[in-house]
Amino acid sequence: MKKNIFDIPIEVIKKGTKKYPQELLDLTDPPLELRVRGAFDASIFSNALAVVGSRKMTRYGKDLVETFVTALSSRNLVVISGFMYGVDTTAHRAAIEAGGVTIAVLAHGLNYIYPSENKDLYQLILDSGGCLISEYPDSFKPQLWTYPKRNRIVAALAKKGTLIIEAAEQSGSLITASYADALNRPLFAVPGSVFSKTSEGTNRLIKDAIAQMVLSIEDIVPSFNSGSDIAPTLFEDINKDEKALLAALSYEEMNIDEISMKVSKTVTEIGSHLTMLSLRGMVEETNGVYRIRTVKKK
């Protein structure tokens, strides 16, 4: 039988001890003790970046998180996030999938899981060599005020800075941003559509010059090698019709009816081409909308 994750011992790290992360001392109100489950090493925070964002992430946000976190993990950066659904969860998962280390800072005790569907993620973080951190008693349930409090720890621990992906106005991510700003940690934000509610916060951070605008991974970490993470578009071994589809999709994502109108072919004709292209990993589809594939899957 599988061991209960709550049986795994918790380490208590008191302020003032050697193991206590020095990064937290930058805070005006550093936590008196940290409770940790999993592998903990205070030296890794100098190489950690926080990735936070909207709970209600759009497809665009998901693509961003997966692209950036995969790249960060492959550059051996530790990804810190808040274990919440949306961007947080995606960031943790992407880091683990890329073989990286990820740390979750919880807004509740370690013997409590919220959201409950993240139970497997809790286990995955432990299995992949990451850890979960909380400043609250083990059975403490999340409260409205614990989330902003937790954010100060996220911002402080991430010495390399905080990357914000999709944040609405007055969202929790902006609280993390203001902490990072106050702590003089680098603050990065990825711009989004000006029509999207979940990009209002990030776009304003960029406009007000509080955050640095990030367009590619090189804007966060200068690249060691020029190896691109974007799948190269190989236009070989593709027939004429498929080429036309890829060309049409390279401007914007479209559903099959729109593609059909754009290339003036019936849905029956283009349907099989689209399947072939997606089987080859060149396009991807969600809810009937096709786009050129950007995130390279293993």
Partner 1 sequence: MLTTILSAAHSGLETIAIEVEVNVFTKGFPGITIIGLPNKAIEEAKERVKTAITNSGFEFPQSKIIINLAPADIPKEGSCYDLPIAVGILHAMGVVQLPKEKSFFYGELSLDGSLRHTKGVLLLALSAKQHSVKELYVPLPSSQEGAVVSNVSVFPVASLHELVLHLNGSKKIAKALIKPGNTESERLVAEFDFNEIIGQNHAKRALTIAAAGGHNLFMQGPPGSGKTMLARAVAGILPPLSPEESLEVTKIYSVTGNIPPGGSLIWARPFRISHHTTSRIGLIGGGSKPHPGEISLAHCGVLFLDEFPEFARSTLESLRQPMEDGEVTVTRAAGTLKFPADFMLIAAANPCPCGYLGDPKRECTCSPRMIMKYQSKLSGPLMDRIDLHVSVPVVEADKLIEHKDVETVSSAKIRERIIKAREVQYKRLSKSGIYMNGSMKNKHISDFVQLTTKASQLLKQAVNAYNLSTRTYFRLIKVSQTIADLEAADAVTETHVAEALQYRVRVE
Residues that bind partner 1 (CB under 8 A): 55-56, 59, 85-86, 115, 117, 197, 255-258, 260-262, 264-268, 271-276, 279, 286-289
Burial (CB count within 10 angstroms: exposed 0-12, middle 13-18, buried 19+), residue 284: middle
Instruction: For residue 223, give the 3-state DSSP assignment.
Output: coil
- Specify the residue for token string 């849905």: 267
Non-local CB neighbours of 168 within 8 Å, separated by 6+ positions: 54, 56, 197, 198, 200, 201
Q: Which is nearer to partner 1, 90 or 185 (CB)?
A: 90
Nearest-approach distance from CB 102 to partner 1, in angstroms: 20
Nearest-approach distance from CB 46 to partner 1, in angstroms: 33
Handedness of CA 67, 72, 75, 79 (dihedral sign): negative
Q: Which is nearer to partner 1, 126 or 295 (CB)?
A: 295
Q: Rounded to an integer, what distance in angstroms lies between the CA atom of residue 49 and that of residue 35?
A: 20
Nearest-approach distance from CB 263 to partner 1, in angstroms: 9
Q: Which is nearer to partner 1, 233 or 275 (CB)?
A: 275
Q: Which is nearer to partner 1, 48 or 248 (CB)?
A: 248
Q: Which is nearer to partner 1, 135 or 200 (CB)?
A: 200
Nearest-approach distance from CB 99 to partner 1, in angstroms: 21
Asked if 54 and 198 touch (Cβ cutoff 8 Å), the reply is: yes
Nearest-approach distance from CB 115 to partner 1, in angstroms: 7
